[in-house]
Chain A
Amino acid sequence: MIISLVIHGAPGTTQGAQTALTFCRAALAAGHRIYRVFFYEDGVHNANALSVWPQDEQDLNAAWASLVREHELDAVVCVASALKRGVLNADEASRYEKPAASVEPAFDISGLGQWVDACLNSDRVVSFGV
């Protein structure tokens, strides 16, 4: 089955992003196809490559980046949510004259159209961290 995820929660604040990660791994292990993981609102913080976690905690940002790379997942952060929260790629950092790019390069920054596209092309869409 083709499944997409929408993640609303920031890592380390609420449990939703962790629940989504575990769900995503289980779905892949069961042979399902993950069409897209869409990060919305505070969920975009999961794609921040500049976060540094304490050594005795699981680095959720790194865990997402590693899952996305390993399975070549289509991971998209909502551009409107991301810019507001300082999750920028190099192009946007330059365009808005900000000192650094912060998005994990394995993630794409795009619009809500990508979420609609996920709805149209998936059998199921599951929301986490609402």
Chain B
Amino acid sequence: MSTLHIVNKSPFRSDALQRCLALVAPGDSILLIEDGVLAASLSTLADSVSGRSVTCYALIDDLAARGVSAADTCIRSVDATGFVNLIVEHRNSLSHG
């Protein structure tokens, strides 16, 4: 019974990530894709989900394309196969516009 929240917008241009964080529940996961990965190098996302039983992922191709690293945060990198697996593992997905 969990949701995969997909965020594809920059946290500096859109409040999609903030809106996602307002709805995320324990057991849910957050996947950053496209410009959403720009949040991956920030400590703010990690701080926001700390202690909430929420796991954060970022699409590795989108990180690499933008030269952004998630190495210093708790955000896990996944490839396209990992993305598919996340979809399978969660009951539903919510693409935050």
Chain A residues with a Cβ under 8 A of chain B:
1, 3, 14-16, 19, 22-23, 25-27, 29-30, 32, 124-130
Contact = CB atoms under 8 A, between A and B. Distances in A.
Contact of A29 (B33, B35, B62, B81): B81
Most A C-beta atoms less than 10 A away, residue of B35, B79, B80 = B80
Nearest to B92: A124
Given A1-B88, A16-B34, A22 B95 contact: no
Interface string B10-27: 000000000000000000
Interface residues of B, number: 21
Given A29-B81, A126-B93, A130-B95, 9 more contacts: A3-B87, A15-B34, A15-B62, A19-B8, A23-B83, A23-B84, A30-B84, A124-B88, A128-B95
A119 B48 CA distance: 32
10 contacts: A3-B87, A16-B8, A19-B8, A19-B33, A19-B34, A23-B83, A23-B84, A124-B93, A126-B6, A130-B95
Nearest to B82: A26
Most A C-beta atoms less than 10 A away, residue of B35, B81, B84, B88 = B84
Q: Secondary structure at chain A's binding surface: helix, strand, loop or mixed?
A: mixed
Nearest to A18: B34
A9 to B, nearest CB: 9
A125 B88 CA distance: 10
A27 B85 CA distance: 9
B34 A22 contact: no
Contacts of B79: 26
A130 B87 CA distance: 17
A128 B80 CA distance: 14
A124 B87 contact: yes
A127 B33 CA distance: 12
